[in-house]
Amino acid sequence: MQTSQTGNLMVVQCSEGCPVANAILAGVIGEALNHETIENVYGCLKGLHGLLHEEIIDLAEESQQTIRALQHTPGAALGTSSLTLKRPQDIERALQVIRAQEVHSLILIGDLDTQESALKIAEAAEEQGYKLSVITIPASIENNLPVTDHCLGFGSAAKALSLTVRELSCELASSITSGPRVHILEVPGTQSGWLAASSTLAKRRNEPEDAPHIVCMPETHFETQGFLSAVQKALVKHGYAIVVTAEGITDADGNFVAQPADPADNLSRPSVAELLANLVRTELSIRAEWSRLGVLASTAAHCLSQND
Amino acid sequence: MQTSQTGNLMVVQCSEGCPVANAILAGVIGEALNHETIENVYGCLKGLHGLLHEEIIDLAEESQQTIRALQHTPGAALGTSSLTLKRPQDIERALQVIRAQEVHSLILIGDLDTQESALKIAEAAEEQGYKLSVITIPASIENNLPVTDHCLGFGSAAKALSLTVRELSCELASSITSGPRVHILEVPGTQSGWLAASSTLAKRRNEPEDAPHIVCMPETHFETQGFLSAVQKALVKHGYAIVVTAEGITDADGNFVAQPADPADNLSRPSVAELLANLVRTELSIRAEWSRLGVLASTAAHCLSQND
């Protein structure tokens, strides 16, 4: 806390899907009690929605047991929403609530959109000459914030994923006499391949041939022939192949490989893993299975990383 | 060991996909050393394939460290195959190898097909007057063996799955202000719904409303209107809905809801979860996500159950 202004602290959990958003919250509450300049610790309910609608609770009233349990609870205990502050009247309203609650330290936990909201609130406070320290804590399993070395949440998601791939490879390696098998695992990531790439982290030291054998990321264009020959090469070497793909990979023209029927509704994007599995089956006549983690990638609270 | 015949023990890992097949193997080896009537402990490589082709290793030669590590290794360390012994010449060949190796105790680890192969070997041995104790250890994450109370492997898969559903519900409950959300999770099970049903095990005591809110199993026919109204009911109560479905659910006519284009190739069965998610989206205009565990359900060695 760089501010020496005595006042209240408010913490807001923004954006979705981070296994440690609650652990961060527990950390913030614990640390806040060590600072004499901080009087009350408030939490906004339902993310920035709670800030606009003045839905606020006193976090110091919660039992220590509750706060401790947060360390292992996925999701966002205060509730969250995808709301961001873009309109000037929303920023103004947020600042009104902040002033009314005598908040001089504001902590936002979230991803890229959260950073933008934070910046706008900070700028508005400065314009009005109101002393407000705004701190953002980058939290995103996709690790898609620039400049930051790593986002909180990414470590745990990466740990759970790489463990899953390692265990999957034990399974597939067991049964190669039943014929070659290819498994395609789809993980979140529409703009960045950090999470897909992190699936390689459980490779053993000096064992570059460990699974995954192929990783498809949005940063490089997907190319069918190259993919199929990489699969064939892995099959020759290992008798099985494990492919990890980000959901948002694109072709040479920059179009999503799994293009939704209605591009406006990206929630209905079909499974990339299924498309790739069908490709392997039809082009190589090889047994191909697939699985899709989706939001499960961000809820593995039983796999929390020390890094987080 | 009911036999008092002194001789060798042979252990075979049959069939695929069980997180504790190796833990069972470690148990068998450990226990065998306590019996004076057992001289050597052999392991067949690649399941019954190894028995037919006399690919056999001496398990007592392995280090204790290796055996201990088996307790936490998914897959089948000896290798496995989907081969079953059905043809008389195969049974005869298996018995030849068994006699040549002076094996008087045979342990098979596996599912329903494994039991049948075991029975045939036992019958053939008896016909020939060769003293052979055949023991099968039921192992199947789908828990689809009759008579048995529970198959080994099921407990761990059930634990991993119910934990996953519980964590998923924390995530979805966090963000209901972003609008109602439905998540459909597809799990293995073409003939039985044990695994899908086990997803309810992490419900808290006296909290019947905990997720999952809807479970679709092969034992009951899927009915579209009933499903959609159950989803709507859950949304009204909780603001979100979690559905767990076995991959092999059928409609009123007994056809698979996710019918593969070519029924002979059931590996290319499309995703039931995707179909149900599309149903929710088109009929209810509600945001619906889905995920598919596939073989990942049988590899969660980091979630081993005490029950196994």
Tokens linked to A307: 């890094």
Q: Which residues of B touch A18 (CB under 8 A)?
A: none
**pLDDT for the residue numbered A179:** 79
Q: Provide the strand spans (E) within chain A.
A: 7-13, 38-44, 56-58, 103-110, 133-138, 181-187, 214-216, 240-246, 287-292
Q: Which of A243-247, A255-259, B119-123, B150-154 has the lowest mean pLDDT?
A: B150-154
CA distance A53 to chain B (A): 12
Phi, psi of B21, rounded to the nearest 5 degrees? -55, -35
- Enclosing H/E stretch for A30: helix A21-32
Q: Which of A98, A100, A118 is nearest to A15 (CA)?
A: A118
**pLDDT for the residue numbered B3:** 46
**pLDDT for the residue numbered B102:** 95
Residue A107 has pLDDT above 90, yes or no: yes
Average pLDDT (A167-195) is: 87
Burial classification of residue B265, based on how many CB atoms lie within 10 Å of its CB (0-12 exposed, 13-18 middle, 19 or more buried): exposed
Are residues B267 and A278, on separate chains, in Cβ contact within 8 Å? no
Average pLDDT (B221-228) is: 96
Percentage of chain A exceeding pLDDT 70: 94
List for chain A the helix, strand, coil content (%; round to 5): 40, 20, 40
Burial classification of residue B5, based on how many CB atoms lie within 10 Å of its CB (0-12 exposed, 13-18 middle, 19 or more buried): middle
Q: Does A215 touch chain B (CB under 8 A)?
A: no
Measure the CA–CA gap between B174 and A157, rounded to whole angstroms: 18
A292 dihedral zone (left: phi>0; alpha: psi -120 to 50; beta): beta
Q: How confident is the model at residue A4 (pLDDT cuts 50, 70, 90)?
A: low
CA distance B100 to chain A (A): 24
Q: Which residue has the higher pLDDT, B299 or B145?
A: B145
Planar angle of CA B256, B260, B266, nearest 5 degrees:
90
Q: Which of B73, B82, B174 to mutate to test the interface with A (most CBs of A within 10 A)?
A: B174
Are residues A170 and B299, on separate chains, in Cβ contact within 8 Å? yes
Tokens linked to B36: 């004076």
Percentage of chain B exceeding pLDDT 70: 94
Cβ(A153)–Cβ(A110) below 8 Å: no
Residue A197 has pLDDT above 90, yes or no: yes
**pLDDT for the residue numbered B1:** 43
Between the alpha carbon of residue B135 and those of residues B1, B16, B26, B114, B168, the distances in Å are 9, 18, 16, 11, 40
Highest mean pLDDT among A68-72, A229-233, B152-156: A229-233
Q: What is the pLDDT of residues A239-265, one digit of tens each?
A: 999 999 999 999 999 999 998 777 666
Prediction ipTM score: 0.84
Q: Which of A190-204, A264-278, B158-172, B269-283 has the lowest mean pLDDT?
A: A264-278
Considering only CB atoms, B271 lies closest to which of A163, A271, A295, namely A271
Q: Is B7-138's fold the same as B154-303's?
A: yes
The CATH class that applies to domain A154-303 reads: alpha beta
Locate the chain A residue with the closest alpha carbon to B188.
Answer: A291
Q: Which of A215-224, A263-272, B103-112 has the lowest mean pLDDT?
A: A263-272
**pLDDT for the residue numbered B296:** 84
Q: How confident is the model at residue B140 (pLDDT cuts 50, 70, 90)?
A: confident
Residue A177: half-sphere exposure toward Cβ, Cα within 13 Å:
22
Are residues A167 and B301, on separate chains, in Cβ contact within 8 Å? yes
- The CA-based dihedral angle spanning residues B118, B120, B122, B125, taken in that order and rounded to the nearest 10 degrees: -140
Which residues fall within 8 angstroms of residue B151, CB to CB, at 6 or more apart?
Answer: B111, B138, B139, B140, B141, B142, B143, B144, B145
Measure the CA–CA gap between B243 and B43, rounded to whole angstroms: 42
Q: Which of A181, A292, A304 to mutate to test the interface with B (most CBs of B within 10 A)?
A: A292
Buried b (16+ CB within 10 A) or exposed e, B192-204: bbbbbbbbbebbe
Cβ(B139)–Cβ(B22) below 8 Å: no
CA distance A93 to chain B (A): 19
Q: Give every strand in the sheet of A181-187, ordered side by side.
A: A214-216, A240-246, A181-187, A287-292, B287-292, B181-187, B240-246, B214-216
Are residues B167 and A287, on separate chains, in Cβ contact within 8 Å? no
Measure the CA–CA gap between A258 and A277, rounded to whole angstroms: 12
Between the alpha carbon of residue A186 and those of residues A84, A195, B172, B201, the distances in Å are 28, 10, 20, 27
- Enclosing H/E stretch for A69: helix A64-70
Q: Look-up: residue for tokens 């284009």?
A: B261
Burial classification of residue A80, based on how many CB atoms lie within 10 Å of its CB (0-12 exposed, 13-18 middle, 19 or more buried): buried
Q: Does A282 touch chain B (CB under 8 A)?
A: no
Measure the CA–CA gap between A226 and A222, rounded to whole angstroms: 8
Are residues A289 and B294, on separate chains, in Cβ contact within 8 Å? yes
Q: What is the pLDDT of residues A34-89, one digit of tens each?
A: 898 999 999 999 999 999 999 999 998 888 888 888 888 888 899 888 788 889 99
Q: How many residues does chain A have?
A: 308
Q: How confident is the model at residue A141 (pLDDT cuts 50, 70, 90)?
A: confident
The CATH class that applies to domain A7-138 reads: alpha beta
Average pLDDT, chain B: 89
List for chain B the helix, strand, coil content (%; round to 5): 40, 20, 40
Q: Which of B53, B109, B156, B177 to mutate to test the interface with A (most CBs of A within 10 A)?
A: B177
**pLDDT for the residue numbered A1:** 43
Q: Which of A229, A240, A225, A237 is nearest to A287 (CA)?
A: A240
Percentage of chain B exceeding pLDDT 90: 55
Cβ(A136)–Cβ(A105) below 8 Å: no
Distance of CA A273 to the CA centre of its chain: 20
Which residues fall within 8 angstroms of residue B277, CB to CB, at 6 or more apart?
Answer: A268, B182, B184, B288, B289, B290
Average pLDDT (A12-20) is: 81
Highest mean pLDDT among A39-53, A169-183, B19-33: A39-53
The conformation of residue A100, written as its DSSP 8-state character, comes to H
HEC secondary structure over A141-173: CCCCCCCCCCCECHHHHHHHHHHHHHHHHHHHH
The answer for A 222-261 residues in CB contact with B (under 8 A) is none
Cβ(B16)–Cβ(B294) below 8 Å: no
Phi, psi of A60, rounded to the nearest 5 degrees? -65, -20
Q: Which residues pair with B186 in a beta bridge?
A: B245, B292
* In chain B, domain spans: 7-138, 154-303
Considering only CB atoms, A82 lies closest to which of B170, B178, B303, namely B178
